[in-house]
Amino acid sequence: MREFSLDIYRELLERLQTHGYVLISYSDYLKTEREQLSLQKFVILRHDVDKKLRNSVRTAQIEHSIGARASYYFRTPESGCYKGSSISLPDAIRGIATLGHEIGYHYEDMALCNGDTEKTYSHFVTWLDYFRRYYAVETICMHGAPASRYDGRDLWKKYDYKALGIAGEPYLDTDFGDVLYLTDTGRCWDGYKVSVRDKIPQHQEEWTKKGWSWHTTKELIRAVEEEQVPRHVMLTTHPQRWTNNQWEWTKELLIQNVKNVIKRMIAK
């Protein structure tokens, strides 16, 4: 199976289930008692919907078909990220939510408002209200915005998202001392080396030393089969990368190779 195809994505999820992992959303993680979680093998399925809305609908359908539940974090269309999508943002949200998945806000307000904290907060509230027209949003997740010098999480140094009825933010409310973080940033599973913000710096070196670092999906599947993957994992994907369409797959590969060079320079 081709790397970053929908076929290999399904295979990864099915292998995880075969080996006893429950596939849950981020809100499921927050709502479950920690004592109960400690007894389970689980993978938090998180999707950052940066573009190509139709791709997210396809991964959501795969997950629904095998009884998995995931979290889908959508950016504000103000950024132009969904321009040219074959379906509208509201239709994508409704379609994915109908399949039983969680919807959240993939916020980048600090970058869009040039670091103006008060303006950023007002902007955040406006777009949170927008997404809540279509789904009762309970969790949010930062968009890394690697080209911006502003870190979206800095907004919460002054304001409290929980005052807005938000239960949690993956980077801020996950016990990464217990949960391994894996992301397809960089179009691989060890892309933290070129990532600006989509990583967990305080644990990344420790995980690598333990051998919890894989480059390809096939390597990750093999590690699941050999029971080398920890019991608790957050698996973050960007659905625009996952497709069975040859042209889309090739285009995404070429674009990502260029982006990785740029991101490596920014990270340094």
In terms of Cα–Cα distance, which of 108, 109, 257, 111 is closest to 194? 257
Quick one: tokens of 136?
């009762």
pTM of the model: 0.94
Tell me the three state secondary structure of residue 97: helix
Give me the pLDDT at residue 255, please: 82
Give me the pLDDT at residue 268, please: 62
* Residues near 207 by beta carbon (within 8 Å), at least 6 away in sequence: 180, 181, 213
Which string of b and e fits 240-257 if b means at least 16 CB within 10 Å? bbbbeeeebbeebeeebe
To 5 degrees, how large is the angle CA 84–CA 88–CA 91?
155
Per-residue pLDDT of 47-64, as tens digits, reads 999 999 999 999 999 999
Backbone angles phi, psi at 47, to 5 degrees: -120, 125
DSSP secondary structure letter of residue 185? T
Whole-number Å distance between alpha carbons of 181 and 153: 18
Whole-number Å distance between alpha carbons of 179 and 186: 21
Q: Which domains does the chain have, with CATH numbers?
A: 6-267 (3.20.20)
Per-residue pLDDT of 211-267, as tens digits, reads 999 999 999 999 999 999 999 999 999 999 999 998 888 888 888 777 766 656 655
Give me the pLDDT at residue 79, please: 84
Quick one: tokens of 231?
């019991």
Residues of the chain with pLDDT under 70: 260-268
Whole-number Å distance between alpha carbons of 96 and 184: 21
In terms of Cα–Cα distance, which of 73, 12, 16 is closest to 43? 16
* Residues near 193 by beta carbon (within 8 Å), at least 6 away in sequence: 186, 264, 267
Whole-number Å distance between alpha carbons of 259 and 44: 27
Give me the pLDDT at residue 147, please: 84
Backbone angles phi, psi at 26, to 5 degrees: -70, -40
